[in-house]
Amino acid sequence: MRIEKQRAVELRGKGMSYSLISEQLGVSKSTLSNWLKDLPYTPNEVVLSRIRRGQGTYGLRRRQIRIDDIALLKAKGISEVGKVSKRDLWMIGLGLWIGEGSKTMEQIRLVNSDPRVVRLFIRWLREICELQDENITIAMHLYPDSDELSSMKYWMSITKLPKRQFRKTQIDRRLDKKRLKIGKTPYGTLHITVASNHNPDKGVRLYRRMMGWISGVIQ
Q: In terms of domains, do 115 and 7 share one?
A: no
Task: Render 103-151 in DSSP notation, one character per residue.
Answer: -STT--EEEE--HHHHHHHHHHHHHTS---GGGEEEEEEE-TTS-HHHH
Q: In terms of domains, do 31 and 95 share one?
A: no
* Position 63 in a domain: no
Quote the number of domains for the chain.
2
pLDDT band with cut points at 50, 70 and 90 for residue 198: low
Q: In terms of domains, do 134 and 37 share one?
A: no
Q: In terms of domains, do 131 and 204 share one?
A: yes
Asked if the model's pLDDT at residue 17 lies above 60, the reply is: yes
| Chain segment 177-196, per-residue pLDDT in tens | 555 455 567 899 999 999 87
Q: In terms of domains, do 108 and 180 share one?
A: yes
What confidence score (pLDDT) does residue 182 get?
57
Pairing of strands 136-142, 101-102: unpaired
Q: In terms of domains, do 151 and 95 share one?
A: yes
Q: In terms of domains, do 178 and 100 share one?
A: yes
The 8-class DSSP code of residue 191 comes to E
Counting residues of the chain whose pLDDT is more than 90, the rounded percentage is 45
Structural domain boundaries, residue 13 = 2-42
| Chain segment 87-110, per-residue pLDDT in tens | 999 999 999 999 989 888 888 999
* Position 26 in a domain: yes
Mean per-residue pLDDT, 17-22? 83
Residue at a domain's end among 42, 57, 73:
42
The CATH number for 174's domain is 3.30.1330
* Position 102 in a domain: yes
Q: In terms of domains, do 91 and 26 share one?
A: no
